């Protein structure tokens, strides 16, 4: 009887630890997929940016606010970053296809506006920091 009681209490302790772990994992997956998605769209220009990156929104809050950089600066940085990103995306033998799955369609002659350029610029900075990548012209 003594061994049965010890075995039962150990089983109960293991079961209770496992069930709380499972419940916590489920809630993290939901919040990461819903809370870390940023979507920007403009139907008249027919473009859309969707950023699905766990941790990006939290990181963005710690960066200089909107208006800190002017639009011209952001556009110039984005041109350089997009060119480098696309080069890497088109060279899967040299660069990881998991990091660079497809080129970014960023037309240098289109005025995407401040918000798009601000988020794209900050995404590239986040990407370089998070995945330890270096792009030309980037401050480290």
Greatest Cα pair distance, the chain, in angstroms, is 81
Take residue 29 and report the two structure tokens written for it.
């997956």
Any bridge partners for residue 47, and if so which?
42
Contact between 131 and 99 under an 8 Å Cβ cutoff? The reply is: yes
**Please, what are the averages of pLDDT over each run of 10 residues along the chain (140 residues)?**
43 44 38 58 68 85 92 95 95 92 89 90 92 80
How do the domains of the chain map onto residue ranges? 53-140
Token pair 């960066």 is found at 63
pLDDT score at 25: 42
pLDDT on residue 35: 57
- Looking at the DSSP bridge assignments, the partners of residue 52 are 37
Q: What is the DSSP string of 4-34?
A: HHHHHHHHHHHHHHHHHHHHHHHHHHHHHHH
Do 124 and 78 form a contact (C-beta atoms < 8 A)? yes
Q: What confidence score (pLDDT) does residue 53 get?
A: 81
**Hey, what are 119's tokens?**
């988020």
């Amino acid at each position: 009887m003594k061994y049965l009681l010890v075995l039962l209490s150990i089983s109960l302790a293991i079961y209770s630890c496992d069930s709380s772990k499972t419940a916590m994992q489920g809630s993290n997956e939901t919040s990461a997929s819903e809370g870390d998605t940023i979507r920007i769209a403009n139907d008249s220009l027919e473009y859309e940016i969707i950023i699905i990156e766990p941790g990006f929104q939290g990181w963005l809050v710690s960066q200089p606010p909107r208006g800190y950089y002017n639009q011209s600066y952001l556009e110039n940085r984005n041109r350089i970053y997009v060119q480098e990103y696309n080069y890497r995306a088109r060279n899967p033998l040299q660069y990881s296809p998991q990091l660079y799955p497809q080129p970014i369609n960023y037309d240098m002659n289109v005025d995407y506006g401040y918000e798009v350029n601000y988020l794209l610029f900050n995404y590239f900075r986040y990407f370089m920091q998070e995945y330890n990548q270096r792009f030309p012209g980037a401050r480290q």
